[in-house]
Amino acid sequence: MTSVPQDEKSYSRYNQYGENPMAPVGPIGLIQLAGSVDFTEKVNYYLNARRSEYSQEAFVTKHPGFLRNDYRIEVDNPRFSSGEGKAVVKNTVRGHDLFIISDVMNPSIEYKMYGSMNRMSPDDHYQDLKRVILACSGKARRINVIMPFLYESRQHKRTSRESLDCAFALEELYNLGVANIITFDAHDERVANAIPLSGFESLPPTYQIIKEMYRQIPDLSFSKGKFMVVSPDEGGISRAMYFASILGVPLGTFYKRRDYTTIVNGRNPIVAHEFLGDSVEGMDILIVDDMISSGDSMLDIAKAMKERGARKVYCAVTFGLFTEGIEHFNKAYEEGVFDKVFATNCIYRRPELLEAPWYADCNMAKFVALLIDAINHDASLSNLINPTEKIKKLLKEKGDM
C-alpha cells in the first residue's frame, strides 16, 4: 500500500482504490459536448456525492475547487449557415483537469446548413471534440477525453486497400495534447497500439450488466446448471468467455458464414449462423456482444436458440444503437423470440427504446464518476478496471457462488 505523508493523513482517508486521495492534479472540469448532456449531468451528480463522502474541511480548504455542486464547464459549438463550426468555452479552464465527454453516436442533435436541418454524424461530433480541445489547449492543466463509443472503432484494421480511421483518430487526439482516453468495450483493444505513449483504457461494463440483470429478473440464478453464455461470433469470444468464467456457466459460440462474393451496405452478407456448443435444451441463454447495430444478427441468433429449445433468451450489449429502429425487436418480443435486452446508458437511446418493455438500461454514470475522481488524484485504476472482485461479491450476496 502506498505510504502516506504525515501532513496528508489528517486531510483524507484511504479510499476504495487502495490509494490515498492525495493532492488532485487540478480542479475537475467536466465539459459536456452536445450529444452527452444527460449523461454528464448524472456523472456530475455522482462525482459530487462521491467527494462528499470522504473529503474533510481541511482538505477542501487546502485544494480550492475540490468539492463543488457543479463541476461542469459550459461550452458552445455554434454553426455558421454554411455548416462550418467553432468552439467557445464560456468559463475559465485555466489550471483545470478537464474531462471532455463525447457521445459520437448521438444522431438526435441537429444544426441548420444552407437553410435545411442536418443531423450530426459521428464525424460532426468528432470535429466538435477537436474544436473544444483546441479552445482549451495551453490553458488547462490536463485534458482527458471520455468517449464511451470509440470513434470509428469498427474501422480498426486493414483487410484491403482501405483507411485506418480509428488508429489515425487516436494519433490525432494524442498530438492535440490529450493525456488520457477512456472508452468502453472497444471493438478491438489492440487499436491502442497506435498511441503507445498515451493513456488509453477500454473498460468492460460486465459488473453493471450483471447487477441490472439481478434487478430485472426476479428468478435469475447462475448456480442451477441451467444457464449458458453465448457469443454471437468468433470475434467476441473473449468477451463471452469472461462472462461464462466469472459466472461459472457453460459457453457456446456462433460463427458467421458470409457470402464473400458480394458486398451489401459495406459488408459481406451473412449466409448462416452456425452454433458450436452443448445442448441448450431448457437453458436460459445470455447472448453477449459489444453492440446492437441494426440488430438483425442478434435476432437471428435468438431465434436459433429458441429453435434449439432454449427456455429464455437475454441479450447484453454495451451499446444499443438500433440503427434500423426497434419495430422488428417489438415484433420479435411479442413472438417470444427473446425476453430482455440489457444495454448501457453511455450513449444516446431513443425515447421509444427507453419505453420498450423488453429494454433495460444499465447505469454507467456512477462508474465514470469514480474513474474521474481516481484519475484526478493519479490513483491506481486497477480495482476499477478489473470488476472480478465486485462481481464475485455480488454473486456471493445472491447465493450464486
Residue 171 DSSP label: H
Closest CA to 199 of 11, 1, 325, 375: 375
What DSSP line would sit under 332-400, residue for residue? HHHTTS-SEEEEESSS---HHHHH-TTEEEE--HHHHHHHHHHHHTT---HHHH--HHHHHHHHHHTT-
HSE-up of 193 (CA within 13 Å, CB side)? 7
pLDDT of residue 201: 93
Give residues with Cβ within 8 angstroms of 70, minimum separation 6: 44, 48
pLDDT of residue 99: 98
State the Cα–Cα distance between residues 44 and 41, nearest whole angstrom: 5
SS (H, E, C) 80-140: CCCCCECCEECCCCCCCEEEEECCCCCCCCEEEECCEEEECCHHHHHHHHHHHHHHHCCCC
Which runs of E-coded beta strand occur in 125-265? 142-146, 180-184, 199-203, 227-231, 251-258
pLDDT of residue 189: 85
What DSSP line would sit under 6-35, residue for residue? HHHHTT----TTSS---S-SS-EEEEE-GG
pLDDT of residue 21: 53
Strands 312-320 and 284-292: parallel
Euclidean distance between the first and the last CA atom of the chain, given in angstroms as a whole number? 29
State the Cα–Cα distance between residues 220 and 192, nearest whole angstrom: 36
| Residues of the chain falling short of pLDDT 50 | 1-20
pLDDT of residue 157: 74
pLDDT of residue 8: 35
Task: Please give the single-letter amino acid code of residue 243.
Answer: F
Residue whose C-alpha cell is 475537475: 28
CA 277 from centroid of its chain's CA atoms: 29
B/e letters for 273-306, b = 16+ CB within 10 Å, e = fewer, are beeeeeebeebbbbbbbbbbbebebbbbbbbbbb
Give residues with Cβ within 8 angstroms of 16, minimum separation 6: 370, 383
User: What are 319-367's pLDDT values in tens digits?
Assistant: 999 999 999 999 999 999 999 999 999 999 999 999 999 999 999 999 9
Helix spans in 217-258 (H): 237-247
CA 101 from centroid of its chain's CA atoms: 11
pLDDT of residue 276: 84
| pTM of structure | 0.89
Closest CA to 83 of 49, 121, 37: 121
Q: How many CB atoms lie within 10 A of CB 128?
A: 24
Q: Contact at 8 Å (CB) between 30 and 42?
A: no
Task: Please give the single-letter amino acid code of residue 107.
Answer: P
Give residues with Cβ within 8 angstroms of 211, minimum separation 6: 362, 394
Q: Contact at 8 Å (CB) between 100 and 31?
A: yes
User: What are 221-238's pLDDT values in tens digits?
Assistant: 898 789 999 999 888 899
Q: How many CB atoms lie within 10 A of CB 148?
A: 25
Phi, psi of 208, rounded to the nearest 5 degrees: -65, -35
pLDDT of residue 113: 94
